[in-house]
């Protein structure tokens, strides 16, 4: 089959289109014929091997252990392992291959990929394969942090910092689906995108600092990851919550060795003592996928697709994302 393979870490130029063997399906796995997969910042991290610490966390020290990137898949079931009970050949499915650990290769940048049964769900019939492939990784992180981290409730005021990006666009729609009043913060060019996904108020971070304003929020979801805890504390309600996602901005915002990890784990260590920090939650992807599917079928979440690239141009797709051109999700089709 055709696949995108990397033999070494580096810029998107290390990605090459090659012929490799089709994956072997294990007993509890499903072989999916890929119809679409997505591009997101964590793909950049695994291709670059940065921050360097992720190479020691199972990715591979000197070179990637498994060379085919891609964490999201939407496609058709080709065959199933002998223990698989939920799917059969011909089913239209979608899911996140890597089970919530995005800093590794999932193998979706290929014509076929083998996926554990529990990471898949039937694709909502009202979505195209491209739309479905855009959802899992970004949608799961948005839902996990809002539903379990927040937790988001009807009538709350929720601010999403970076609401015009991949995770942010889903976070706006998810918070709206739970009945929250949503304020989106992003750059001038993304004001319309934030309104189109349902934000009730939008703030242009180049013009206004919301942390100096008088409005209070029940949840601040910091996807852009540039806010200080003390600034946010000022604009949180007394029982409000600050939720950090962590963004290295393609290696530009944090150090090359540890990236966002010191800040993220520092907050986690503080969380038992600081009321406005959530503790780590381990919701299973399966229950989160079911909720995402329900919201999509009800028309409460609609992925915004910016551009679709062919598999052979995977390097160009990643560069397009890194250069900041995307206004919505970037998708790859074999
Ligand atoms: N996407 C995924 O599937 C996924 C999955 C797991 C984890 N993550 C992690 O989640 C983080 C965010 O990912 P993402 O895909 O949502 O990134 P993204 O698409 O780059 O979104 C971040 C948004 O924040 C905006 N922004 C930049 N500076 C800002 C500021 N000062 N104030 C407010 N907004 C600002 C960016 O706009 P401009 O830069 O255009 O100004 C962009 O719209 C990354 O660290 C990623 O590793 C992502």
164 lines ligand 1 (CB under 6 A): yes
Phi, psi of 260 (to 5 degrees): -80, -5
**pLDDT for the residue 102:** 81
CB 114 within 8 A of CB 75: no
Per-residue pLDDT reduced to its tens digit, 10-45: 999 999 999 999 999 999 999 999 999 999 999 999
Q: Is 108 in the pocket of ligand 1 (CB under 6 A)?
A: no
Distance 27 CA to ligand 1 centre (A): 37
∠303-99-28 over CA atoms, to 5°? 115
What are the tens digits of pLDDT across the range 189-214? 999 999 999 999 999 999 999 999 99
Query: Looking at residue 312, what is its pLDDT?
Result: 98
- The helix/strand/coil state of 326 is coil
Report CA(223)–ligand 1 centroid distance (Å).
6
Summarize pLDDT for 118-147 with one digit per residue, the tens.
Answer: 999 999 999 999 999 999 999 999 999 999
Is the pTM higher than 0.85?
yes
pLDDT bracket for residue 282 (50, 70, 90): low
DSSP 91: -
Buried b (16+ CB within 10 A) or exposed e, 123-140: bbeebbbbbbbbbbbbbb
Greatest pairwise CA separation for the chain in angstroms: 59
Strand, coil or helix: 314: helix
Look at the alpha carbons of 30, 36, 41, 46 in this order and tell me if their dihedral is positive or negative: positive
Among 46, 125, 121, CA closest to 86: 121
Nearest protein Cα to ligand 1, atom 45 = 247
Pocket test for ligand 1, best of 166, 263, 289 (most atoms within 8 A of CB): 166
- Token pair for residue 147? 């539903």
Give the atom of ligand 1 at the shortest distance from the alpha carbon of 169.
16
For ligand 1, is residue 186 a contact (CB within 6 Å)? yes
Residue with the smallest CA separation from ligand 1 atom 25 is: 162
């Amino acid at each position: 089959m055709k696949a995108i393979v990397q033999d070494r870490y580096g810029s998107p130029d290390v990605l090459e289109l090659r012929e490799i063997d089709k994956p072997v399906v294990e007993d509890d796995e499903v072989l999916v014929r890929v119809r679409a997969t997505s591009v997101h910042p964590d793909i950049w991290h695994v291709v670059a091997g940065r921050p360097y610490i992720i190479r020691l966390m199972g990715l591979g020290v000197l070179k990637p252990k498994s060379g085919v990137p891609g964490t999201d898949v939407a496609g058709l079931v080709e065959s199933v392992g002998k223990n698989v009970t939920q799917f059969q050949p011909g089913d239209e499915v979608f899911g996140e291959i890597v089970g919530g650990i995005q800093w590794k290769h999932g193998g979706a940048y290929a014509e076929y990929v083998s996926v554990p049964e529990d990471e898949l769900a039937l694709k909502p019939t009202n979505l195209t394969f491209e739309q479905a492939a855009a959802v899992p990784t970004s949608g799961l992180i948005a839902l996990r942090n809002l539903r379990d981290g927040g937790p988001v409730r009807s009538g709350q005021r929720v601010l999403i910092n970076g609401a015009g990006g991949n995770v942010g666009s889903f976070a706006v729609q998810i918070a709206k689906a739970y009945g929250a009043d949503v304020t989106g913060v992003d750059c001038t060019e993304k004001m319309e995108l934030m309104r189109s996904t349902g934000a009730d108020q939008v703030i242009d971070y180049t013009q206004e600092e919301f942390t100096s304003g008088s409005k209070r929020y029940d949840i601040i979801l910091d996807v852009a990851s540039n806010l200080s805890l003390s600034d946010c504390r000022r604009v949180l309600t007394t029982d409000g919550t600050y939720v950090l996602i962590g963004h290295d901005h393609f290696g530009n915002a944090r150090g090359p060795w540890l990236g966002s990890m010191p800040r993220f784990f520092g907050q986690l260590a503080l969380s038992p003592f600081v009321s406005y920090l959530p503790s780590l939650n381990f919701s299973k992807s399966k229950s989160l996928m079911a909720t995402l599917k329900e919201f999509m079928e009800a028309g409460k979440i609609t992925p915004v697709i910016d551009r679709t690239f062919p598999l052979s141009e995977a390097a160009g797709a990643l560069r397009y994302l890194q250069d900041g051109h995307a206004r919505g999700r970037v998708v790859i089709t074999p």
